[in-house]
């Protein structure tokens, strides 16, 4: 039993490390090759966790080979369009100017229900509102609405809005986070001044964000009630 | 991407190194074991005849356990214990029988580890 405990711990660390090495793309948008590798990884690691009879070295070798081949394949597909389309497939246009391309739907073995459901998930309830609907290689549907159906943007209304940038987390749970200082033009001296102005001690601050324009948002820690 | 490619190359080399070294290790030690078995088959009635074979196994059994299925390594270990015991007790019939069984079992186990078309498919 103790062996299983140790083996599981080691394998878990190896698998987490392997998935991290393969890159963030793994988690969000799985391409066919990545999906296969991810399923295989979990399967390969799970069996020796339960079965102590299987040498762990066999599993480690299999994981190393899988991860390295996956990285090589993704590097190859970055270099060559042909390999990319072979490994990942191509995105296909399913709706053009409100007209469903039935041949493509059949080719993808999509049902009309699948298509309508994917459109509804994009807040589109009428096929005729769609200018283009594209089936992406990771199985998701991208939708571009007809110009008259799109939401009005700030640009459309000729409004000039200041770019405040991304709010940076500068204090988290009473600790100063210096890693984003550069992105929001912050210095420690400036931050301490802002904190002083809030009338709180730094240890009382649960979260503080600052954007490029200097707008701050402060969340104070809740006191425990006995 | 270059950094990732380097890591991938290191991983692949490591996997290749582990695979090849286990293959070479099993090949070399099994050769030693088989020749010791052959020698022992001729002098099975002599006292301490199995010493060489047993010492080769004792030196390598832990590494066999790393490379082979643990059940196979345990089975081989059990056979060696029976062999040692039967030689000590002077039971040459059981010793010879165990030696033959051991030889066959080791052959079958190592055959499964070798890089052969029938093993791949």
Helix (H) or strand (E) holding A98: none
Q: CA A169, A170, A172: angle at the middle one, nearest 5?
A: 75
CATH number of the domain bearing residue A206: 3.30.240.20
Residues A75 and A98 in one domain: no
Beta bridge partners of A172: A175, A207
**Chain B: residue whose CA lies nearest to A69:** B8
Task: State both tokens at B59.
Answer: 């030196």
| Model pLDDT, residue B47 | 67
Residues A22 and A78 in one domain: yes
Radius of gyration over every alpha carbon of chain B, rounded to an integer in angstroms: 18
Q: Is this complex's ipTM strictly greater than 0.95? A: no
Q: Which residues of A touch B76 (CB under 8 A)?
A: none
Q: Tokens 């204090």 identify what position?
A: A171
Residues A135 and A173 in one domain: no
Structure confidence by residue, pLDDT tens digits, A22-61: 775 545 567 777 888 888 988 888 888 888 888 888 899 9
Residues A139 and A103 in one domain: yes
Structure confidence by residue, pLDDT tens digits, A182-207: 888 888 888 889 888 888 888 899 99
| Mean pLDDT estimate for chain B | 85
| Model pLDDT, residue A26 | 47
| Model pLDDT, residue B111 | 83
Say whether B4 and A21 touch across the interface (CB within 8 A): yes
| Model pLDDT, residue A29 | 65
Task: State both tokens at B55.
Answer: 């010492």
Q: Among A69, A86, A103, which residue terminates a domain?
A: A86
Minimal Cβ distance to B12: which of A60, A64, A75? A64
For residue A127, the enclosing domain spans 92-149
**Chain A: residue whose CA lies nearest to B11:** A64
| Model pLDDT, residue A25 | 57
Counted domains in chain A: 3
Q: Give the separation between CA B49 and CA B36, rounded to whole angstroms.
A: 10
**Is B81 domain-assigned?**
yes
| Mean pLDDT estimate for chain A | 86
Which stretches within chain A are classed as H helix?
2-22, 25-28, 32-50, 56-79, 81-88, 102-107, 112-121, 188-198
Structure confidence by residue, pLDDT tens digits, A119-163: 999 999 999 999 999 998 878 899 999 999 888 888 888 888 877
For residue B74, the enclosing domain spans 26-120
Segment B80-99 shows an average pLDDT of 85
| Model pLDDT, residue A49 | 85
**Is A206 domain-assigned?**
yes
Q: Among A31, A59, A86, which residue terminates a domain?
A: A86
Structure confidence by residue, pLDDT tens digits, A84-126: 888 888 889 999 999 999 998 888 888 889 899 999 999 999 9
**Is A163 domain-assigned?**
no
Minimal Cβ distance to A61: which of B7, B9, B19? B19
Is pLDDT of B29 > 80?
Answer: yes
Minimal Cβ distance to A57: which of B1, B5, B67? B67
CA distances from B112 to A138, B26, B104 (A): 39, 11, 13
Task: State both tokens at A206.
Answer: 């649960």
């Amino acid at each position: 039993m103790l062996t299983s405990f140790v083996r599981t711990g080691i394998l878990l660390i190896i698998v987490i490390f392997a998935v991290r090495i393969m890159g963030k793309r793994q988690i969000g948008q799985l391409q066919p090759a990545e999906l296969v590798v991810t399923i295989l990884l979990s399967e390969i690691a799970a069996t020796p966790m339960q079965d102590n009879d299987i040498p762990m070295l066999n599993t480690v070798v299999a994981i190393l080979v899988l991860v390295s081949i996956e990285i090589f394949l993704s590097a190859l597909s970055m270099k060559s369009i042909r390999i990319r389309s072979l490994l990942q497939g191509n995105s296909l246009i399913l709706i053009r100017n409100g007209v469903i391309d039935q041949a493509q739907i059949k080719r993808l073995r999509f049902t009309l229900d699948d298509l309508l459901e994917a459109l509804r998930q994009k807040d589109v309830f009428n096929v005729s509102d769609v200018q283009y609907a594209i089936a992406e290689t990771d199985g998701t549907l991208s939708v571009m609405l007809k110009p008259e159906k799109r939401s009005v943007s700030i640009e459309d209304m000729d409004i000039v809005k200041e770019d405040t940038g991304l709010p940076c987390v500068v204090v988290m749970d009473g600790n100063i986070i210096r890693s984003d200082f550069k992105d929001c033009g912050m210095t420690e001296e400036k931050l301490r001044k802002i904190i002083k102005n809030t009338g709180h001690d730094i240890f009382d601050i649960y979260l503080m964000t600052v954007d490029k324009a200097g707008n701050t948002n402060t969340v104070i820690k809740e006191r425990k009630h006995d | 991407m270059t950094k990732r490619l380097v890591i991938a190359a290191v991983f692949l080399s490591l996997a290749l190194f582990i695979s090849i070294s286990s293959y070479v290790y099993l090949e070399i030690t099994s050769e030693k074991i088989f020749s010791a078995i052959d020698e022992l088959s001729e002098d099975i009635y002599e006292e301490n005849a199995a010493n060489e074979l047993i010492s080769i196994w004792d030196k390598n059994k832990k590494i066999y356990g790393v490379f082979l299925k643990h059940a196979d390594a345990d089975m081989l270990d059990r056979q060696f214990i029976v062999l040692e015991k039967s030689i000590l007790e002077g039971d040459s019939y059981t010793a010879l029988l165990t030696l033959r069984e051991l030889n066959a079992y080791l052959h079958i186990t190592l055959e499964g580890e070798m890089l052969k078309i029938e093993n791949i498919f």
